[in-house]
Amino acid sequence: MRFQTELVPARLIRRYKRFLADCTLEDGREVVAHCANPGSMLGLAAPGTKIWLEPNDDPKKKLKFGWRLVDHENGHFTGVDTGIPNRAVKVALQGGEIAALAGYTTVRPEVKYAENSRIDFLLSAPGLPDAYVEVKSVTLSRRPGLAEFPDSVTARGAKHLGNLADVARAGHRAVLLYLVQRTDCSHVTMADDIDPAYAAAHADATRAGVETLCIGTHITPEAVTLAAPLALGRPAR
């Protein structure tokens, strides 16, 4: 998935009210950017951090910049826009690029499937069980090489796990896809110290038959695309 507009580098001044960020552009101008991320963004929002913004000239939008990436200035990036994973996964599903979900010929986004809930993608094909795919964006890393989810308490996420468990018990294929929007991680685990209820719900869903896929990303200021699968669990010390 390529960014629609060329990104511009900036430095973060502060993030506030969850969805706003004051930033300094390279020419010295201070601007306010939209931050499309409801999580805590733990470890990603320190003042002075190098970031990448996407400009827009849409007259309907009050803010003229969107915060897309954190640049760790060591060759690695983290994507902070939680809207990007579904767009990138959709491209990969339509192109048959996810081996574990290959063979599905119909990809339907945002399908209602439970009370007040929509599944991110419903996949279908003749001769295959329907696959209900829920996508989660993973950005937290507190240990080198290890990505964690969630970065804050998420009752909504636990609800989604319960819905997926019901789908699996009904005989359908239920898949939780953790898309790691970081280029510096090889493993994924549950942040059970941050949200023990979510970790327990994930364990319950797994026992019910819900599959977990962890997939990495290639990230540059030009595009975000899916990379290789990542391991579920903590790396050996």
Q: In what order do the strands lie in the sheet with 145-149?
A: 140-143, 145-149, 185-190, 231-232
CATH code of the region 8-75: 2.40.50.580
* CATH C-level class of 84-232: alpha beta
Q: How confident is the model at residue 34 (pLDDT cuts 50, 70, 90)?
A: very high
Residue 154 has pLDDT above 70, yes or no: yes
* Token couple for 161: 């796990």
Which residue type is seen at 68? R
At 116 the pLDDT is 81
- Locate the domains of the chain by residue range: 8-75, 84-232
pLDDT one-digit tens code per residue, 185-194: 999 999 999 9
Share the mean pLDDT of the chain: 96
- Put simply, whether the predicted model's pTM sits higher than 0.85 gets the answer yes
pLDDT one-digit tens code per residue, 88-114: 999 999 999 999 999 999 999 999 998
Which has more confidence, 235 or 186? 186
Mean pLDDT on 154-176? 96
Q: How confident is the model at residue 237 (pLDDT cuts 50, 70, 90)?
A: low
Contact status, residue 235 vs residue 187, Cβ threshold 8 Å: yes
Among the listed residues 232, 212, 237, the one whose alpha carbon sits nearest the alpha carbon of residue 101: 212
At 92 the pLDDT is 96
At 184 the pLDDT is 97
Residue 36 has pLDDT above 90, yes or no: yes
Q: Which residues of 56-69 are buried (b: 16+ CB within 10 A; e: fewer)?
A: eeeeeeebbbbbbb
Count the alpha carbons within 13 Å of 81 in the hemisphere toward its beta carbon.
Answer: 23
Mean pLDDT on 131-148? 97
Residue 235 has pLDDT above 90, yes or no: no
3-state secondary structure of 168: helix
Q: Do domains 8-75 and 84-232 have the same CATH topology?
A: no
Q: How confident is the model at residue 168 (pLDDT cuts 50, 70, 90)?
A: very high
At 178 the pLDDT is 98
CA 73 from chain centre, in angstroms, equals: 21
At 19 the pLDDT is 96
Mean pLDDT on 42-69? 94
At 2 the pLDDT is 93
Count the alpha carbons within 13 Å of 156 in the hemisphere toward its beta carbon.
Answer: 10
**Tokens 């950005």 -> residue:** 139
Contact status, residue 1 vs residue 225, Cβ threshold 8 Å: yes
At 174 the pLDDT is 98
* Sign of the dihedral defined by the CA atoms of residues 39, 42, 45, 49, in that order: negative
Q: How confident is the model at residue 236 (pLDDT cuts 50, 70, 90)?
A: confident
DSSP letters for 22-70? EEEETTS-EEEEE----S--TTT--TT-EEEEEE---TT-S-SEEEEEE
